[in-house]
Structure 1
Amino acid sequence: MTLPLALCLVWLIAANVIAMFPSRDRHWRAASVLIAVGVPLLGWATYVGGPVVGLLLLAAGASVLRWPVIFLWRWLRRQVG
């Protein structure tokens, strides 16, 4: 197992643990930090592991952080339409 893949798995575990605890701001602050850490980590893992690994990790991260992805999708649809 490569270092970027191991760090991505730690990121996924940390994201799931953070989601278990209650939050007053509905986890938006934690989601922002996870996105800021996860994007470069995803790029590094894609560079080392290839595009298939990158797409799988992107899908895993999007499933954990689904609300920011949904809001981004809605915003993009409003901008286009």
Structure 2
Amino acid sequence: MILPLAMCLIWLIAANVIAMFPSRDYHWRAAYVLIAIGVPLLGWITYEGGPIVGMLVLAAGVSILRWPVVYFWRWLRRQLG
């Protein structure tokens, strides 16, 4: 359980450091990479720590990558309604 939590903390720190630097594409490439790394990491932490820990880590990831989530939510509402 320690290794998945340590990897999640490294992911969170890396996401915050990436957000501090300026970017021409408003960090979208970095967001895609962070999502590609974060989804399997979220599955791993949920498997090892249970659904409560998984939901906490998911909430932390969504708070950092909020704009991709907002755009996905808007797209999903347009598709359904």
User: If the length of structure 2 is used for normalisation, what is the TM-score?
Assistant: 0.98
Aligned to 2:70: 70
Listed as ranges, the gaps of 5+ residues in structure 2 are none
C-alpha RMSD of the superposition: 0.7
Superposition map of 1:4-43 within 5 A: 4-43=4-43
Equivalents in 2 of 1:64, 1:16: separation in Å? Answer: 8
Kindly provide the amino acid, as one letter, of the partner of residue 58 in structure 2: L
5+ residue gaps, structure 1: none
Aligned partner letter, 1:77: R
Deviation string 1:16-56 (CA, Å, 9 cap, x unpaired) is: 00000000000000000000000000000000000000000
Size of the aligned set, in residue pairs, is 81
Displacement, 1:2? 1.1
Distance 2:61 2:49 in 1: 16
Q: Does 1:53 align with 2:53?
A: yes
Percent identity over paired residues? 79
